[in-house]
A and B are shown apart, each in its own frame.
Chain A
């Protein structure tokens, strides 16, 4: 299968008062169609920034310095350079073709709106045509079945509604409904759009295995448990059947039992929806459970990219080895990686890992190693190879 996302030479820097933070350096990464790619690394290694760069949401004072991120759009069958896209076009991709689940399930939900309101917003932003079609069917049914006095009074309005919904269903941004949606009173003619989005929302919540979805939809975030909130956030991200779902440490703040349910949910999503998933985690165990391939990151650079089995059976990069050794396991002495995480303000020259690397050679201090394919589907950036 081809690539869904192709990142080349991505460099992200933060211009802070203390100096320039090198958050991501010359990153090359592919996400294939239908796969779950894990990004593993310590806190501060640039995992979140990689994800935000794909959505072009790097926060101020950060900037995407250079590079290219190509997205293959399945519907249009064409490649899109995301970094060159206009902000308007980019907005139509966010939440629609590429969506993201943020780390804290509670914090990603706006406290002043109900769960249902927040998920319907996604439909209203990206699926107006679909909503228009569905509303149209509703009006058709009314026109066909409605009889009696009330119906004959309402009939002209239904005809008008039908016309509006027809326009919405056919054009991408029709003038008449758009205008009317700003006029108080007339806005009500379009209420069926909202209604349809609410129905879709409930379906979506059922899809992520929320029991009693219709009731949960009218709850505020603080009325739900952490696991529920996370499911709601996932429902929001899946609402428009994205081609890429980015999940940034989606299970870190959850209980272990709920974590397991979430991982199961992600596995199911991938199978049912055929979406690619970019799964960010600092937990190697979690990565081994859900991912097809894993990319290991250190201080803004990729160290090693390989299929899960390959990575766990034949870890090649010294950092990956150290990372695997530092996973606590019964009956094994815990190894820690000596030294501290590289300072992103003054990153070490050459290979970012050389001050902590047991196999460092003189060339490591001078030159950064490029990613090399050492066997099929196994890439390592290290001078030892």
Chain B
């Protein structure tokens, strides 16, 4: 379709969005080929657990054997960041996926039908939005017990209300359009009107927000892991790697930058992942907006 060609051309035309595409593509490749890039050692059962080389607390400098060095507890940083890419995608995509589905479902019901349905759904979102997101997420993880799954549940719970609101607002606006009334006038059912006529015109801002949020969700997940409320110890996860490096940000006074790699390398992975999604989100904003496109 020429629409797709148009979108592709727009994406590549802007150097920033091109950068976003390249960054995310590299991460996708890393995630897919993790077993080849960082092969798990023989007899290693759970591939997501970072292999360790001893138990000493002091990180080891990069070497032939550990090209990014080891962090506190002798976990291999290279293995951790490579397999951590998979964790990052899993957290980001699963959370945003579930949040999108719930948000779109509840938001479009509220916006389209209005009245009491709207009132009930919006008051529920009010309750969720009344808590500071990070604190609520921490409380939920603490209650469920620290694990990557709890982190995903917590992030889903704190994120869906803003999606429901956003979609509701846009549906509310689209609902007043004549073509919605016209589609009811040709005998389409409410379900059909929402799915076929209202949502395609209301969903773009939400998709843009979703792609921006994938980065944000991974960042928050890293923050929770950093606070010790995330993946179990030794699990390949960028937040956890920065958490290991917490005591080694500043080295001995003779050589304060001695352990730079322990925090910088996982930090850079997080930085580029978030940056990549942000650039991509901006690019989506430019191409998905039907008013800008096809002109």
- Our verdict on whether A and B bind, yes or no, reads yes
- Cβ distance B122 to chain A, nearest Cβ, rounded Å: 16
A102 touches B185 (CB 8 A): yes
How far is B187's CA from A93's CA once the two chains are assembled, in angstroms? 7
Tell me if B186 is interfacial: C-beta within 8 Å of chain A: yes
Interface residues as binary, A241-276 with B (CB distance below 8 Å gives 1, 0 otherwise): 000000000000000000000000000000000000
Tell me if B183 is interfacial: C-beta within 8 Å of chain A: yes
Which of the listed residues B179, B189, B200, B294 has the most CB atoms from chain A within 10 Å of its own CB?
B179
Tell me if A192 is interfacial: C-beta within 8 Å of chain B: no
Tell me if B177 is interfacial: C-beta within 8 Å of chain A: yes
How far is B192's CA from A110's CA once the two chains are assembled, in angstroms? 13
A125 touches B201 (CB 8 A): no
Query: Given the complex, which residues of B lie within 8 Å of A236, measured CB to CB?
Result: 182, 186
Interface residues as binary, B151-175 with A (CB distance below 8 Å gives 1, 0 otherwise): 0000000000000000000000000
Query: Given the complex, which residues of A lie within 8 Å of B115, measured CB to CB?
Result: 60
- Cβ distance B120 to chain A, nearest Cβ, rounded Å: 16
Query: Given the complex, which residues of A lie within 8 Å of B196, measured CB to CB?
Result: 121
Query: Given the complex, which residues of A lie within 8 Å of B181, measured CB to CB?
Result: 57, 59, 102, 108
A104 touches B178 (CB 8 A): yes
Tell me if B52 is interfacial: C-beta within 8 Å of chain A: no
- Which residues between 45 and 76 of chain A lie within 8 Å of chain B, taking CB atoms? 55, 57, 59-60
Which of B178, B183, B184, B294 contacts A220, CB < 8 Å?
A: B294
Tell me if B188 is interfacial: C-beta within 8 Å of chain A: yes
Tell me if B197 is interfacial: C-beta within 8 Å of chain A: yes
Query: Given the complex, which residues of B lie within 8 Å of A100, measured CB to CB?
Result: 182, 185
Tell me if B114 is interfacial: C-beta within 8 Å of chain A: yes
B187 touches A95 (CB 8 A): yes
Which residue of chain A lies nearest to B179 when distances are taken between CB atoms in the complex?
A110
Number of interface residues, chain B, beta carbon within 8 A: 20
B187 touches A91 (CB 8 A): yes
Tell me if A80 is interfacial: C-beta within 8 Å of chain B: no
Query: Given the complex, which residues of A lie within 8 Å of B114, measured CB to CB?
Result: 60
Tell me if B251 is interfacial: C-beta within 8 Å of chain A: no
How far is B182's CA from A107's CA once the two chains are assembled, in angstroms? 9
Known contacts A60-B114, A60-B115, A111-B201; is A91 also within 8 Å of B188 by CB?
A: yes
Tell me if B290 is interfacial: C-beta within 8 Å of chain A: yes
- Cβ distance A12 to chain B, nearest Cβ, rounded Å: 16
A125 touches B186 (CB 8 A): yes
A94 touches B184 (CB 8 A): yes
Query: Given the complex, which residues of A lie within 8 Å of B186, measured CB to CB?
Result: 94-95, 99, 121-122, 125, 236
- Cβ distance B261 to chain A, nearest Cβ, rounded Å: 48
A107 touches B179 (CB 8 A): yes
26 example contacts (A-B, Cβ-Cβ < 8 A) are as follows A57-B181, A57-B185, A91-B188, A92-B187, A95-B185, A95-B186, A95-B187, A95-B188, A96-B187, A99-B186, A102-B185, A107-B179, A110-B179, A110-B197, A110-B201, A111-B179, A111-B290, A112-B200, A112-B201, A121-B186, A121-B196, A122-B186, A125-B186, A125-B188, A233-B182, A236-B186
